[in-house]
Amino acid sequence: MKTKNVLFLFALLFSVSIFAQDAKTKIAVSYLDVKGLTLDPSQAGNLARKELAKTEKFNVLDQYDMEFLLEKEKINLNDCFGRLCLVEAGKIMKVDKFLTGSLELYEEQIVVTLRLIDVGNSEIEQMEVMEFLDLRQQLPSMLRLTIEKMFEIPSDEALVTKLTEAYDYNNAINNPKQDRLELNGPRMGFTYMTGEVGSIFQAEKAVGGFEVMPLMFQFGYQFEVQYLNQGDFQALFEFIPVITGLDQGLFIPSISVLNGLRSNKTGWEFAFGPIFYGSRLASGYYDASGAWKLEEDWVSQDPNQADRPTFEKRLDSRGNINLVSSFVFGLGKTLKSGNLNIPINLFFIPNKEGHRFGISVGFNTSSFKKKK
């Protein structure tokens, strides 16, 4: 008895699924008129048919069934793009709707036009037109977005932007033939020193200070290469030589070597890496009062030098230039104005003797390295 119930339930579910399939609007997709592109009308129609079937909203007539039915009536879809011809073809195939349209290349744009014909009323029920960048390898996506717009199906807005906006953030979709993207340009900004380092810069030169403010102007140049340009992110390599302190009579060179990631959608980025800079260091010690003294100023009061202090190196205007390294973390966003990029970045350099904070801005335009 139980077996019979199971079989009955299975048969019922199967019947319901068949009914639901039949209840869907029956639609055929004709060949699309193609101008300026390498696709032929049949291939373009097949792409549209596949994208329409993916919506699962219609009972889409199979390509081979459509061609078989029309061949019997000697109707050639290669010559059938007008409303009257398609209505006649639709009646032969006993479909409710007929989707047709065109793909046309106009200079640097691809225009996708789709028309939905109501076979019963012999009228064009709906028409949709979308303009895209000349990204021919993305034709399936262009057809999908146009179909989604026609039938009010939510679309991937980020994809729409990448295929329609000429100056969107560079990515593997709108620059598919580029292996590397170079974004070189000047950078300028300010850095602020805190802690002991900030105090030394403000101190008098007689005690090893620089007699300057710990807030200094920076000017440099950023060499940037984007690679692994896939998906929502792109990897970055940045080489940034900078000169700090020219506004206060100082010359402090530095070089940063950074790796990071940037969002293809928003332009936000994060990078980190070592920084190497020239710094005047002197060997010295702190006396009993806490004052900083140079090593050569120390005179022992004990013949055995039992009172010898611990000497160390620190920032001192009287010292020699040494190469010093640290680590820098950067967070920023790139703004777009046409083909002009405007990066704005905050950076942080931690150090036990005093952290450094700063902001830099710049500008650049895209320069490509093509794939071989």
- Collapsing DSSP to helix, strand or coil, 11 comes out as helix
The per-residue pLDDT for 136 is 87
In this prediction the pTM is 0.61
Cα distances (Å, whole numbers) of residue 286 to 58, 218, 280, 290, 302 = 84, 32, 18, 5, 18
- Report the C-alpha gap between 64 and 267 in whole angstroms: 46
- Report the C-alpha gap between 285 and 349 in whole angstroms: 25
- For 135-184, list the strands marked E by DSSP: 178-182
Q: What is the pLDDT along the chain (372 residues), one digit of tens a residue?
A: 556 555 555 554 544 444 444 468 899 898 898 999 988 888 999 999 999 999 888 999 888 888 888 887 777 777 777 788 888 888 888 889 989 899 999 888 999 999 999 888 888 889 999 999 888 888 999 999 999 999 999 988 878 888 887 665 555 555 555 545 567 899 999 999 999 999 999 999 999 999 999 999 999 999 988 776 666 778 889 999 999 999 999 999 999 999 999 887 788 999 999 999 999 999 999 988 889 999 988 887 777 777 788 899 999 999 999 999 999 999 999 887 767 888 999 999 999 999 999 999 998 876 555 444
The per-residue pLDDT for 307 is 77
The per-residue pLDDT for 21 is 44
What amino acid occupies position 268?
Answer: W
- Report the C-alpha gap between 64 and 70 in whole angstroms: 10
The per-residue pLDDT for 192 is 97
Question: End-to-end distance of the chain based on CA atoms, in angstroms?
Answer: 70
- Report the C-alpha gap between 174 and 223 in whole angstroms: 22
- Report the C-alpha gap between 20 and 15 in whole angstroms: 9
CATH numbers and ranges of domains, the chain: 23-164 (3.40.50.10070), 178-370 (2.40.160.20)
- Report the C-alpha gap between 113 and 116 in whole angstroms: 10
- Report the C-alpha gap between 316 and 197 in whole angstroms: 10
The per-residue pLDDT for 258 is 95
- Report the C-alpha gap between 148 and 136 in whole angstroms: 19
Cα distances (Å, whole numbers) of residue 165 to 136, 169, 229, 264, 339 = 15, 9, 18, 13, 11
